[in-house]
Amino acid sequence: MEQKKRILCWDEKNVNKNDGVSVIAHKPIKKNLALICDCEWEGVHNGYASALKVGEKHRIYYRADSSRQRIDGQKIPGGGGVICVAESRDGGITYKKPNIGKYEFNGTKNNNIVFAREEKTIDNFSVFYDKNPACPKDEKFKALCEINLGNECGGTKLIYYASEDGYDFREMYCLDVEGTFDSFNVMVWDENTEQYFLYYRAFHTPEGEDRLSWHGARPNWIRHVRVATSKDFRVWEKHGRISFEEGQEEYQLYTNQITKYYRSRDTFIGFPVRYRDRAAEKRNFHHMPLGDRHENITNVYGREGTAVTDCVIMTSNDGFKFDRRDEAFLTPGVENRNNWWYGNCYTVYGLIETESEEEGAPNEISFYMGENYRIKNVNFRRYTVRLDGFFSWYAPYKGGSVLTKPFTVEAEEMRVNFATSALGGMTVSICGEGGEALEGYTSYEMFGDSVDRPVEFEKPISALKGSSVCLKFALKDAHLYSFEI
């Protein structure tokens, strides 16, 4: 473990002994509407969005499409899908639409459309800011766009677009990968392995045979996520499907939204949408606030009128094998007139660190999610999570402890991200490899709620440099989210 490396308490891979401590998942907090989409070129199919921070500036790129059917069967002419951009001047809390003046819509260029294709409709267009130091300046903004040429013309391709400023994208070339790509296909630069990761859509049969094109498509094919890697963004090594724990339930994964967790060099995190057609239990819809709309939804969209979607969370240390939690991270929420059917819980790609609304409180992680899909104009709402707060090690009031695996001391201080109740607490001990506390290296009982609290010992940590030690955390009605060593 390198100096001052942040260890996330999201699983037990760093635990040698556990006595009464659980890994707890935490739900995000619903916040403000970050982007309101009420312009004529926007509509009920806004979505597949990317959130970026470039320097001190924040942007959201999103597909807007006013031309597809609403649930009442109405179809508004014009468009076929365009890509728009919105910008934030308050650090990612709210977004406004700049006047780009580049593409004409209904006789005017007064809009925020940043990309359009006359010859083909646009389903997805993912935007990524490349942090590879070797990336050419005029390719720092990268985008991926799916195009379906038909099986007779080569099938579905994934086209790479590049831009220097994120406003003028030029077509580069098709990526040398096979898939259906009819989802939000994303890319990641991994500084640890100095390579790009590409995550994209394809299918397999219930028997497990891969299907990388639409040829012979069947309703029972299962959507999955594939991964490829590249050192130069041209030559790609195909690794097949991402994997999960053996024996884990298999279900349809519509998106993946995999990115690097920006506070840990070796952690990937994804927020895939999962899908299930619940036609067999459709009587539920009659008891929901949307019940009077359900017949229209089914008539217009077929299976998507009886399908429902939510979002789960998955993490990985290598980008290939993922720990997928099957309990929902996001659900459609309390029933209202605009939820509990296909299209709920699609998150915007990317995590943004934002200031807290509470004076003196630490920063939070913000992400965004579309609302009202296919019902009325889609807006994007902000959600927040504590820094490193997707999971924690937790012990109830009766107490518990964990002993970590051994590591070599290289730092001169230790800091923790933790929270306790008023009567709870946490004690930290530096131990020998056998688990016995070293003299002078047990902290006082700590209480409070801090994302960055120093741990104090009688003796200096610097005296242990080069030694192999373990850490013991004794918790009582307390959460430990991460620690730095």
The tokens describing 288, both together, are 């929901």
What pLDDT, in 10s, does the model give residues 33-49?
A: 999 999 999 988 889 99
Residue type, 393: W
User: By C-alpha distance, which of 228, 79, 68 is closest to 144?
Assistant: 228
3-state secondary structure of 287: helix
The letter for the amino acid at 178 is E
User: Cα 321 from chain centroid?
Assistant: 16
Length of the chain: 485
Separation of alpha carbons 207 and 400, rounded Å: 44
Beta bridge partners of 52: 59
Structure token pair of residue 118: 């006359």
All residue ranges of the chain with pLDDT < 50 are 1-3, 77-78
- pLDDT tens sequence across 353-394: 999 999 999 999 999 999 998 888 899 999 999 999 999 999
Tokens describing residue 327: 């309990």
Separation between Cα atoms, residue 145 and residue 474, nearest integer Å: 50
Domain ranges in the chain with CATH number 2.115.10.20: 29-386
The pLDDT assigned to 69 comes to 56
In sequence order, the 6+-apart residues with CB closer than 8 A to the CB of 437 are 429, 430, 431, 472
Instruction: List, for residues 200-250, the tens digit of each pLDDT value.
Output: 999 999 999 999 998 889 999 999 999 999 999 999 999 999 999 999 999
- As given in the structure block, the two tokens for residue 35 are 């982007």
Closest CA to 226 of 178, 156, 173: 178
CATH topology of domain 29-386: Tachylectin-2; Chain A (2.115.10)
d(CA 328, CA 28): 11
Instruction: Read off the tokens for 371.
Output: 């609302």
Positions of CATH 2.60.120.260 in the chain: 6-24+391-484
User: For residues 340 and 12, is the Cβ–Cβ distance under 8 A?
Assistant: no
- Give the whole-angstrom CA distance, residue 250 versus residue 85: 35
DSSP code per residue over 221-261: -EEEEEEEEESSSSS-EEEEE-B-STTPPP-EE-----EE-
Query: pTM for the complete prediction?
Result: 0.94
Nearest to residue 365, comparing CAs of 278, 261, 271, 265? Answer: 261
Q: Check if CATH label 2.40.10.120 holds for domain 6-24+391-484.
A: no
Q: Please report the beta strands in 36-166, taking only residues with DSSP state E, as ranges in sequence order.
A: 47-54, 57-64, 82-88, 113-115, 125-129, 141-148, 156-163
Within 13 Å and on the Cβ side, how many CA atoms surround 16?
15
Taking the C-alpha atoms of 38, 41, 44 and 50 in order, what is their torsion angle to the nearest 10 degrees?
-90
Query: Which 3 state secondary structure label does DSSP give 283?
Result: helix
List the end-to-end C-alpha distance of the chain, in Å, as a whole number. Answer: 8
Residue type, 470: C
